[in-house]
Amino acid sequence: MTHIGIKIKEFRKKKDMTQEKLAEYLNVSFQAVSKWETGAASPDISMIVPLARLLDVTTDELFGLVNDIDERQEDLLKKWRETWNTGDTEKRYEIAKTAVSEYPGNFDYLMWLADAEASYAIHNCVRHSDDQKEHFQNAVKYYEMIIEDCTDNDVKNDAIYGIVMTLPDIGRRDEAVSYAKQHPDADELLKWCLTGEEWEKHRQNMIFRKMKALIFELEFGHRDLAAIKVAETMIKTIVDDGNYLWFHDTLMHNYIWQAECLTIKKQYDEAIRVLKKSHHHAVEFEKMYQEGKEKARPYTCSIFNKLSHDSNDVTWSGTSTLTEDFKEYLTWKDFDALRGREDFNALFTL
């Protein structure tokens, strides 16, 4: 830390103030000010606040803390980042301990230490040893302190992520599950701490949701035929036994979008062919929907064999059936080029 006298002299000169004028304002002797600035003496504690006010600075600035802290923190951060490039977990651990000891109450540094304890346990300790367990327990302790006391949600969520990853290593998996459910990205975290049947079902649900999201992105805009066909292929590859259940709805719309593209490309015969497929899936969905209201129907493909479809959970944006929607799509102007065809007009009577 810079001697306070050096800072007094620095700020006095910035205000274009003489030692005599400073002494006069503070009602002290000129000699006292001179001794402060040379380091021969220090101002009385009662003078610190008046000095800071007179020089238009904070008390931290007067003691030379601001720049020193910034420089020290920059140095710690630089060294910390270097360990992630080198993989030196032992040095990382020492840096984190130093940061926490020098800046107690700083949650960013406490997070460093929690993470460093966990990585040290993994990379520097014998697996399942008492030493490894101790470092994992230390990591959990620091994560808990952050979760309990930190008001910064980003830091708090990082601590929740860390504790979920660490608790199973010390046999506290149920607590990890509880913490995971508190995180904004709970689904991603739960897959790291669930086990057995519960884990398998959770994993399949995640695949199901991500699959739906990817299909949406592939089909968005209804004009990229190649992407729409990829969505079709993905459905048929994953639900490889034809027991499509909810995906009947998806395939019905997929074929409508394909038919739009094919009509625009003047591939009229192919457009009619996929429109017939679309109607087939609309009919199959309605059958499945009615059966599913009585009892949830299970998926039977290997990737979704822990999941089922319950029609009572389906929400609708309107009152029309899927086959009615199909016929409504046929009235879109994109299909105007097909209207003179007998096979197209026959689709309205299916």
pLDDT higher than 50, residue 165:
yes
Which tens digits make up the pLDDT trace of 202-230? Answer: 999 999 999 999 999 999 999 999 999 99
Domain 87-190 has CATH 1.25.40.10: yes
Q: Evaluate the CA torsion angle 178, 183, 186, 188 in order and state its sign.
A: negative
Residue (of 246, 263, 247, 254) closest to 222 by Cα position: 254
- pLDDT score recorded for residue 136: 97
- Average pLDDT over the chain reads 92
Structural fold of domain 4-63? 434 Repressor (Amino-terminal Domain) (1.10.260)
Separation CA 212–CA 219 (nearest Å): 11
- pLDDT score recorded for residue 350: 84
**Cα–Cα–Cα angle for 336, 342, 345, rounded to 5 degrees:** 55
Which tens digits make up the pLDDT trace of 27-39? Answer: 899 899 998 888 8
Burial 267-282 (b: 16+ CB within 10 A, else e): ebeebbebbebbbbbb
- pLDDT score recorded for residue 1: 45
69-98 average pLDDT score:
91
pLDDT higher than 80, residue 64:
no
pLDDT higher than 50, residue 107:
yes
Res. 289 pLDDT band, cuts 50 70 90? confident
- In this predicted structure, which of 131-145, 220-234, 283-297 has the lowest mean pLDDT? 283-297
Separation CA 168–CA 158 (nearest Å): 17
- pLDDT score recorded for residue 280: 97
250-265 average pLDDT score:
97
Length of the chain: 350
Check if 4-63 and 87-190 are the same fold: no
- pLDDT score recorded for residue 80: 94
